[in-house]
Structure 1
Amino acid sequence: MAKTNSGRFFEDYTVGETLHHAVPRTVKMGERALYHMLYPARHALYSSDQFAQTCGLPFSPLDDLIAFHIVFGKTVPDVSLNAVANLGYAQGRWLAPVWPGDTLRSQSEVIGLKQNSNGKTGVVYVRTTGLNQHDEPVLEYVRWVMVRKRNLDAPAPETVVPDLPKALSADQLVIPKGLDFTNYDFTLAGETHRWGDYEIGEQIDHVDGVTVEEAEHMMATRLWQNTAKVHFDTSARPDGSRLIYGGHVISMARALSFNGLANAQMIVGLNGGAHANPCLSGDTIRAWSEVIDKAETDAPGVGAIRLRLVATKGGDAFALRGDDGKYLPEVLLDLDYWALMPL
């Protein structure tokens, strides 16, 4: 009897089933140190206990994207081990801070299936929840993945495509308990730009670039315990390349956005996202942002800002789509998110 697991294929999913993902993981300061080593991450709230305490928190939580990567990585063996590509995200909400010492686990509900016209692959939609050791949800999001079929003759399932709102409204965002930006130190944060200084429609070129190397992206993907074959096994892709984990691109672009958005301290909502084109070793990631919306919150001194974050591997700044409406070949990531910023 075989004891190994070759992963799920498209025909193995059923709408409505719940997937309980192995293995729970306790996260500590080591995750932060490695995260800040892998990316030029330097938002003050995630760097300094003292800064976090002046913002009303007991100490500095782990970076919001550490929570995302850990929760995401747990899902890979059950959702995307045999994926061709991770296609997009929606309805993401950070529901509680993750503190050093928390133990995270993940579970997902299959909410949609759609076989592709080629009969070789299909799209699986899942709603994933990350929970801590108290069974409290810390993060939830929807993602959809293109997955291979094992048996090409397997009948197509009934098509179910979930109705996903284009964006979260500001009142759906969860503000961490106690967060207070009335004593915010702009000098220590690194920039003077506050919520009121940004205009809807404004575009910001983040200027800097980072070239991705094979070793660092594989180290990052192992850190998040993401076992997807396309990130490690050169025989898993027709061109013999290792695909850079999309989350690696997200974290790199978010870190680069510090230059111009240093005070967009906490990501609390993920409205949508697309990995527009593959990222490969040797690509130099650059980033730009556009302000989509703004809203005040009930937390003292705290505003919410909705941003489009675009990562590219070259080309003109602020270029996104061609005349045909498709993403330009140099665009790697198009991410729509809400962040918290001092008023």
Structure 2
Amino acid sequence: MKTNPGRFFEDFRLGETIRHATPRTVTTGDVALYTGLYGPRFAVQSSDAFARAIGYPQSPLDDMLVFHVVFGKTVPDISLNALANLGYAEGGFRRPVYPGETLSTVSEVIGLKESSNRQTGVVYVRSTGADERGETVLSYCRWVLVRKRDPEAAIAQEHVPTLAKAVDPKDLANALPPLQAGAYDTALSGSPHRFGDYAAGERIDHVDGMTVEEAEHQIATRLFQNTAKVHFDGLAAKDTRFGKRLIYGGHVISLARALSYNGLANAFALAGINAGRHVGPLFAGDTVYAWSEVLETADVGRPDVGLLRLRTVATKNQPCTDFPDKHNDGYDPAVILDLDYWAFVPK
């Protein structure tokens, strides 16, 4: 057989390393298309002149574009037959990536757990994205619910890994080059608020909404070479519990990140992903809103930037004026994403 039907749960082995195919050179064309899809407005990633003024050689790629490219490499080997991507942890953006660099991905299977119905199982992987020199640019863990080919197939070894609840901010402090915070022009960035203006516990309604069109998420999954059937194949999607194509969860993350500009315009670079959960599905025609809470502020000893630990919650078809959140019986029905991450902010 020369074609690849994708792995099913019983095909994974604990501890195996998977080297994913098709390295991807990311260009300014990808940046333009990413901007067209999500509309991010962070000044460092939008303007070479702004980036050079504070110490970058040029504008780096949006961190979520890097994430999607690294993630997309894993799909044919990890989640082609997935029903849902369940969560993230221990993510670290190790350095800026610039147009013209080539990214590739390797994953290690760090956990396997068969579902009680024996129809599916959860696969835990640690994926590492590297440049053409082999230097790590991003690493993260995720777990995904994957179909079994044969419900009766025996599983050789099961293990649920223990993952850190949060990434130590000190481990992320050197992800950026030394910057000239004094040259960071807040008039051009769109907000006067710097690191010292944020405090743990405050909540920010990002106000704006963005409606998702069918063509947009199809273009996005193609851009990232994400071949998961639930996003691409409308016929196959009819056999799922949703009965139609599901929008890629990373698409929701990028929308929420872009919307967060209104209130967090100077949180210009992601540093780490502590935890993340796709709470509910999103479909074409839905409108996405977002709000964020500052969970923690971390002065990591740099004179130029500090880190904010942010929790961004995305909703569908419900503005966030009342901060839709968890309740005693679970999440508010409008919530679709709950993401906990670190971001750099100038001092």
What TM-score do you get using the length of structure 1 for normalisation?
0.97
Aligned pairs for 1:166-245 within 5 A = 166-173=165-172, 174-234=174-234, 235-236=236-237, 237-245=240-248
Tell me if the contact between 1:277 and 1:331 (Cα under 8 Å) persists in the aligned partners.
yes
User: Is the partner of 2:23 in helix, strand or coil?
Assistant: strand
Q: Deviations over 1:51-110 (max 9, x none)?
A: 111221111111111100000000000000000100000000001111111000000000
Q: For residue 150 of structure 2, what is the aligned residue in structure 1?
A: 151
User: Is the partner of 2:208 in helix, strand or coil?
Assistant: strand
Tell me if the contact between 1:115 and 1:157 (Cα under 8 Å) persists in the aligned partners.
no
* Corresponding position: 1:274 with 2:273: no
Tell me if the contact between 1:310 and 1:331 (Cα under 8 Å) persists in the aligned partners.
yes
Q: Deviations over 1:232-269 (max 9, x none)?
A: 21223244311000010000000000000000000010
- Which 5+ residue runs of structure 1 have no aligned equivalent? none
Moved more, 159-168 or 138-147: 159-168
Q: For residue 83 of structure 2, what is the aligned residue in structure 1?
A: 84
Work out which of the residue numbers 325, 335, 339 in structure 1 matches 2:343: 339
Q: For residue 334 of structure 2, what is the aligned residue in structure 1?
A: 330
Amino acid aligned to 2:328: D
Q: For residue 264 of structure 2, what is the aligned residue in structure 1?
A: 261
Q: Deviations over 1:167-214 (max 9, x none)?
A: 012101133123332321100000101111111010000000011110
Amino acid aligned to 2:244: S
- Which 5+ residue runs of structure 2 have no aligned equivalent? none
User: Is the partner of 2:276 in helix, strand or coil?
Assistant: strand
Q: Which consecutive segments of 4 or more residues in structure 1 shift more than 6 A?
A: none
Q: CA deviation at 1:307?
A: 0.2
* Corresponding position: 1:38 with 2:37: yes
What TM-score do you get using the length of structure 2 for normalisation?
0.96
Amino acid aligned to 1:320: D
Tell me if the contact between 1:257 and 1:288 (Cα under 8 Å) persists in the aligned partners.
yes
Q: For residue 12 of structure 1, what is the aligned residue in structure 2?
A: 11
Moved more, 177-186 or 12-21: 177-186
- For residues 329 and 307 of structure 1, the distance between their equivalents in structure 2, rounded to whole angstroms, comes to 22
Q: Deviations over 1:107-152 (max 9, x none)?
A: 0000000001010000000000001010100000000000000011
Quote the RMSD (CA, aligned, Å): 1.1
Amino acid aligned to 1:318: F
- For residues 200 and 25 of structure 2, the distance between their equivalents in structure 1, rounded to whole angstroms, comes to 39
Amino acid aligned to 2:346: P
- For residues 28 and 221 of structure 1, the distance between their equivalents in structure 2, rounded to whole angstroms, comes to 17
- For residues 135 and 335 of structure 2, the distance between their equivalents in structure 1, rounded to whole angstroms, comes to 36
- For residues 23 and 258 of structure 1, the distance between their equivalents in structure 2, rounded to whole angstroms, comes to 33
User: Is the partner of 1:67 in helix, strand or coil?
Assistant: helix
User: Is the partner of 1:271 in helix, strand or coil?
Assistant: strand
Q: Deviations over 1:30-67 (max 9, x none)?
A: 11100110012010010111111122111111111110
Same amino acid, percent of matched pairs: 58
Q: For residue 251 of structure 1, what is the aligned residue in structure 2?
A: 254
Tell me if the contact between 2:324 and 2:334 (Cα under 8 Å) persists in the aligned partners.
no
Q: For residue 314 of structure 2, what is the aligned residue in structure 1?
A: 311
Q: CA deviation at 1:163?
A: 0.7
- For residues 154 and 327 of structure 1, the distance between their equivalents in structure 2, rounded to whole angstroms, comes to 34
- For residues 300 and 50 of structure 2, the distance between their equivalents in structure 1, rounded to whole angstroms, comes to 21
Work out which of the residue numbers 287, 291, 294 in structure 1 matches 2:294: 291
Amino acid aligned to 1:156: I
* Corresponding position: 1:320 with 2:325: yes
Aligned residues: 341
Amino acid aligned to 1:215: A
User: Is the partner of 1:22 in helix, strand or coil?
Assistant: coil
User: Is the partner of 1:32 in helix, strand or coil?
Assistant: helix
Amino acid aligned to 1:331: V
- For residues 241 and 338 of structure 1, the distance between their equivalents in structure 2, rounded to whole angstroms, comes to 34
